[in-house]
Structure 1
Amino acid sequence: MTENPNPSVRSRQVSALLRTLREDLGLSGSEVAKSLGMSPSKISRIETGSRGLRVDDVAALLGHYKVPEQKRAQILDQVRKAEERGWWESQGLGLPQLWQALINFESRATRIQNFEALVVPGLLQTDEYTEAIISSINKTLSKVELTNLVASRRARQAVLSRRELQFLAVIDEGALRRPITESGVMRRQLRHLADTSDRPNITIRVVPLQAGQYAGLRGSFAVLEFEDEPSLVYTENQVTSMFLDEKDDVAAYRVALGNILNEALEPAESAQLMARVAEEHE
């Protein structure tokens, strides 16, 4: 099978998952190859996404790793759709499959640029702020479901401890002023932003209300960049989450981000604004 210089987002997710499954079992690529009658180079190409995925190859690997039947079916369904560009799905009550993919991609990214128009970026949220947002969006969640979703958001934030990751958060001032919940929670969230902005790999910039009309009015998104993989865009709305991997789509979001940054305050000015808004919640 020929090399695939630009694998789809589904294919990349499956390849990364297969590598993780093997490593979690403490197996080497050579050991797996010998057990399945494959060459070590084939295992490597499958795990790096440098070749197209075949259903029978992936099924053999999943069986060898003793992956449960339901999860195996989900993964094989991704393989069957691997040639489709982009990836979207409706959000459910639990942790959507696409959100799990986002966590995986964030863990491998070298740079994440996230614009948020309505709320504080998820990677910078406090637990109590996250809980207020999720519970207000879906009031039917049980306490257990709500706790699991908050914990999942917190687990995502571990990526910010990676020194090789550069994170840029661009936030509309309206998101800082919107009373999502009671003043104490908002104040602590804003102080958390200020503390986080002191970290060397994190930059926070705020688009002031005085900017008026600007490109960010079209909605929130994140651009993820990788060392040896093509860039991705992640976006979501009321009921749908989506990855975009077409070069033209990614380029369009880069242009939008550049236009948004033209309206944003510099980091030092942004920190001052966040401090003033926090004082308003005293």
Structure 2
Amino acid sequence: MQRTHSPTLRRRRLSAELKRARSNSRMTTTQVVKQLRWAAGKLSKIENAETQTVKAEDLEALMDLYNITDGAQRDALHALAKDAKVRGWWSKYREVFGPQSLPDFEAEASTIRTFESSVIPGLLQTPEYTSALLQGGRFTEPEAISRRVDARVERRQILTRFSPVRLRVVLDEAALRRPMGSSETMAEQMHHLLYMAKLPNIDVQVLPFSAGSHAALVASFSIMEFPEPLDLPIVFIETATGGLFLEDTEEVEQHSVTFSDAQGSALSTTQSAKFIADVLKPLESE
């Protein structure tokens, strides 16, 4: 699977570039809107990445106004605007992921740090485990479950593609102990977890019950970081209705500190592999 462009990230990057260009030109949003004779909220939507499409003529007008004369820079901004309209593979699973989807950010993430308190993280799940997990939720129709399993299988390809994402996982012991489906399903999941943890781009640390109280006694969350400096980190928190994305710098920093603290309370990767192997043993004898 090739690295896929994220239209959402392209919109965020284009917005950041245009906002910086306006700042460099020492113009206020009011001045820009007045000079271009735009509706009051048009520029705000562009600068906050709230519009999916920035028309070529609108982009040209902004670049002219901001005195962006370098041809390469103008071409790069047009390329960003064009890529922001391209749909990723996840668009075919729109009913699964919703309008603002997690794979939209995962596609270009360089590093993902995940704390999971209850279940194996989606990127490390086997299809059988995912299916058993979903059967306990609202989507119990076989077709609906199958679609969600297929979508999750496609998501995890970012771990094994060329130039894969770096995944750092802190996993509460409860996620290993909670049975999903049969013993065979759980045994296969533990084998898969151990296999994936051996990959050079993946670290898995277990946070055992014996650690007692720790900093991450909160909802599960993921922090995604990106290779481009303009693409600021973002936090994803899964909810009953889909998910919540946090982009505020202070909130992202707080979750980053929480993750680091959880890592400090967790077992090392070597100790964690042994811990998972010990969980696996009784499953294989059942």
CA deviation string 1:64-100 (max 9, x = no partner): x8x9xxx9xxxxxxxxxxxxxxxxxxxxx931325x6
1:184–1:4 Cα change, 3 Å = same
Structure 2 residue matching 1:4: 3-state secondary structure:
helix
Structure 1 residue matching 2:216: 3-state secondary structure:
helix
How many Å separate the matches in 2 of 1:3 and 1:194? 45
1:174–1:37 Cα change, 3 Å = closer
Conserved in 1, the CA contact under 8 Å of 2:98 and 2:242? no
1:259–1:46 Cα change, 3 Å = farther
Match of 2:95 in 1: 94
1:218 deviates by 0.8
**1:148 equivalent in alignment to 2:163:** no
1:182 deviates by 1.4
Structure 2 residue matching 1:215: 3-state secondary structure:
coil
Match of 1:107 in 2: 107
Structure 1 residue matching 2:181: 3-state secondary structure:
coil
CA deviation string 1:200-220 (max 9, x = no partner): 101111001101111222120
Conserved in 2, the CA contact under 8 Å of 1:9 and 1:245? no
Structure 1 residue matching 2:169: 3-state secondary structure:
strand
Structure 2 residue matching 1:109: 3-state secondary structure:
coil
CA deviation string 1:196-246 (max 9, x = no partner): 111110111100110111122212000000011100000012234111001
Match of 1:80 in 2: none
1:116–1:14 Cα change, 3 Å = farther
Structure 1 residue matching 2:19: 3-state secondary structure:
coil
**1:226 equivalent in alignment to 2:210:** no
Match of 2:49 in 1: 11
Which runs of 5 or more residues in structure 2 are unaligned?
A: 1-14, 21-44, 64-70
1:172–1:48 Cα change, 3 Å = same
1:146–1:234 Cα change, 3 Å = same
Match of 1:252 in 2: 254
Conserved in 1, the CA contact under 8 Å of 2:56 and 2:78? no
1:9 deviates by 11
Structure 1 residue matching 2:135: 3-state secondary structure:
helix
Match of 1:272 in 2: 274
**1:185 equivalent in alignment to 2:166:** no
TM-score (norm. length: structure 1): 0.70
1:265–1:12 Cα change, 3 Å = farther
1:33–1:8 Cα change, 3 Å = closer
1:9–1:177 Cα change, 3 Å = farther
Conserved in 1, the CA contact under 8 Å of 2:109 and 2:226? yes
How many Å separate the matches in 2 of 1:220 and 1:148? 23
Alignment of 1:162-241 (within 5 A): 162=161, 163-228=163-228, 229-241=231-243
Match of 1:81 in 2: none
How many Å separate the matches in 2 of 1:13 and 1:209? 46
Q: Report the identity percentage.
A: 29
1:3 deviates by 2.6
- Which amino acid is the alignment partner of residue 112 of structure 1? I
1:231–1:183 Cα change, 3 Å = same
How many Å separate the matches in 2 of 1:181 and 1:13? 43
Conserved in 1, the CA contact under 8 Å of 2:173 and 2:207? yes
Conserved in 1, the CA contact under 8 Å of 2:114 and 2:169? yes
Match of 1:120 in 2: 120
Structure 2 residue matching 1:234: 3-state secondary structure:
strand
TM-score (norm. length: structure 2): 0.70
1:161 deviates by 1.5
Conserved in 2, the CA contact under 8 Å of 1:94 and 1:149? no
**1:45 equivalent in alignment to 2:77:** yes
1:142 deviates by 2.0
4+ aligned runs moved over 6 Å, structure 1: 7-10, 36-40
- Which amino acid is the alignment partner of residue 116 of structure 2? E
Match of 1:136 in 2: 136
- Which amino acid is the alignment partner of residue 243 of structure 2? S
1:262–1:224 Cα change, 3 Å = same
1:201–1:237 Cα change, 3 Å = same
